[in-house]
Amino acid sequence: RHLAALYSNLGQADCAEAILRQGAEALDNADLMTRLAQSQARRGAFAEAESWLRKAIEIAPSVIRPYATLANLKLTQNDPDGAEAALQPALAIEPEHPEIQRVLTKLHQQRSRTEKRSK
């Protein structure tokens, strides 16, 4: 994880992503899978990112971060309904979690902007 962060900070996103992928595949680690998904989303590989997030959720269903990251990914894709669906399990686990609250705020802001545009 730290080596991947170093490569990322040096502007070598491909190397960072390769390290994260190796770790995620070898260790079945939800944190590494989530970080890999974030890296993929930054380069626009949304389907691949979503796949890794769903794997992270599958192996660690009580961890909040993959749900929040998936919801953010859906918001990036202008899919507020998908974001809301991604948040539902996390809301059942820990509704007051700060990450969940941040994503909910973004979700409400996006819906508000969409409603204003449609008027």
Structural domains in the chain, sorted by start: 1-60 (1.25.40.10), 61-119 (no CATH)
Decide: 18 and 33 in contact? Cβ < 8 Å.
Answer: no
**pLDDT value for 6:** 55
pLDDT in tens, 56-106: 999 999 999 999 999 999 999 999 999 999 999 999 999 999 999 999 999
Instruction: Compute the distance between CA of residue 81 and CA of residue 26 in angstroms, rounded to an integer.
Output: 33
3-state helix, strand, coil in the chain (%, to 5): 80, 0, 20
Q: What is the pTM of this model?
A: 0.82
Please state the φ and ψ torsions of residue 94, each to the nearest 5 degrees.
-150, 80
Instruction: Compute the distance between CA of residue 15 and CA of residue 83 in angstroms, rounded to an integer.
Output: 29
pLDDT in tens, 94-103: 999 999 999 9
**pLDDT value for 11:** 63
